[in-house]
């Protein structure tokens, strides 16, 4: 369970860091346009490489997170009935659904971008009509954004494990999860919120030492060492946090199905059919 999930996150981290490094030149051009008072003069390339690799790593691991959630769901599902699934068995089930999992992540990200774009356009139009109306639109847009993110994220958070485990068509699975989470919003939201608070605290504890070492290396003129240490810190924290959050989502998926569909009865029957260890 942990080995394959870690491998997926490591591969995503390396690919994201390499892609970020490849595009760091464009980021350096953006830093070069900043005034000298910003403090980036002479360090544009160093900061660009650091920010680009971190951004690339974040995007790549964001796309890989649904795959990790699927892997953990299949593995935990087998563990619930007292069976230890092999790596090949887990990947055989999740691998053929990997594009669905990545596609869902991309689709969700695109939906959020469109939502933000609509809100920004509405605010701009409001300011064009009247500055007071624009300020009022901002006051409405910010909570609307937060509510939209929370609502959609909570109602669709169980889509990756469902895509990995159930083997149904993409849109049918999304609609099924939407129905499955109906009436469970606040409980799911509370668990997600607690999990993300824990994740944030752990992330700070893990990343801070790497950030300090990276900052010292950058101040000493060792840009390569600084970027390497920073990327390593992001990778370590991402592995730990992705596995933790993926396990939470997998267990929530099983829990919701137990509450709504009596999955516990099916699992008990499946467990009784397993040969003794």
* Domain layout of the chain by residue ranges: 2-272
Query: Picking from 44-53, 59-68, 159-168, 208-217, which range would have the lowest pLDDT averaged per residue?
Result: 44-53
For 69-98, what is each residue's pLDDT tens digit?
788 877 877 776 666 777 777 777 787 888
pTM listed for this prediction: 0.75
Evaluate if residue 228 carries a pLDDT over 70: yes
What share of the chain in percent tops pLDDT 90? 14
Evaluate if residue 1 carries a pLDDT over 70: no
Q: What is the pLDDT of residue 206?
A: 80
Residues 36/129, Cβ–Cβ less than 8 Å: no
Confidence class for position 15, pLDDT limits 50, 70, 90: confident
Cα–Cα dist 64/238, whole Å: 11
Q: What is the pLDDT of residue 191?
A: 93
Evaluate if residue 12 carries a pLDDT over 90: no
Is residue 222 exposed (0-12), middle (13-18) or buried (19+ Cβ within 10 Å)? middle
Evaluate if residue 264 carries a pLDDT over 90: no
Q: What is the pLDDT of residue 194?
A: 93
Residues 184/256, Cβ–Cβ less than 8 Å: yes
List the structure tokens of 171. Answer: 């849109």
Cα–Cα dist 185/22, whole Å: 41
Cα–Cα dist 197/93, whole Å: 32
Query: Picking from 41-50, 55-64, 226-235, 238-247, which range would have the lowest pLDDT averaged per residue?
Result: 41-50
For 93-131, what is each residue's pLDDT tens digit?
787 888 888 888 889 889 988 999 999 999 999 888 888
Q: What is the pLDDT of residue 246?
A: 81
Average pLDDT over residues 1-24: 77
Mean pLDDT of the chain: 80
Evaluate if residue 44 carries a pLDDT over 80: no
């Amino acid at each position: 369970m942990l080995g394959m999930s870690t491998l997926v996150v490591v591969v995503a981290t390396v690919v994201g860091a390499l892609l970020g490094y490849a595009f760091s030149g464009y980021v350096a051009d953006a830093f070069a346009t900043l005034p000298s008072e910003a403090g980036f003069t002479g360090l544009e390339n160093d900061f660009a490489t650091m920010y680009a690799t971190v951004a690339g790593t974040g995007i790549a691991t964001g796309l890989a997170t649904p795959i990790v959630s699927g892997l953990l769901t299949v593995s935990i599902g087998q563990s619930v009935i007292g069976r230890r699934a092999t790596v090949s068995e887990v990947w055989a089930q999740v691998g053929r659904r990997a594009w669905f999992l990545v596609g869902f992540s991309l689709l969700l990200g695109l939906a959020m971008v469109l939502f933000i774009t609509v809100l920004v356009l509405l605010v701009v139009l409001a300011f064009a009509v009247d500055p007071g109306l624009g300020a009022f639109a901002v006051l409405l847009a910010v909570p609307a954004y937060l509510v939209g993110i929370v609502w959609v994220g909570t109602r669709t958070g169980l889509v990756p494990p469902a895509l990995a485990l159930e083997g149904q068509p993409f849109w049918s699975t999304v609609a099924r999860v939407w129905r499955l989470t109906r009436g469970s919003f606040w409980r799911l939201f509370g668990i997600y919120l607690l999990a993300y608070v824990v994740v944030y605290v752990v992330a700070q504890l893990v990343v801070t030492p790497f950030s300090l070492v990276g900052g010292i290396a950058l101040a000493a003129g060792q840009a390569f060492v600084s970027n390497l240490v920073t990327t390593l810190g992001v990778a370590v924290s991402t592995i730990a946090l992705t596995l933790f959050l993926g396990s939470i989502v997998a267990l929530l998926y099983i829990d919701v199905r137990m509450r709504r569909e009596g999955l516990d009865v099916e699992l008990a029957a499946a467990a009784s059919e397993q040969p003794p260890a």
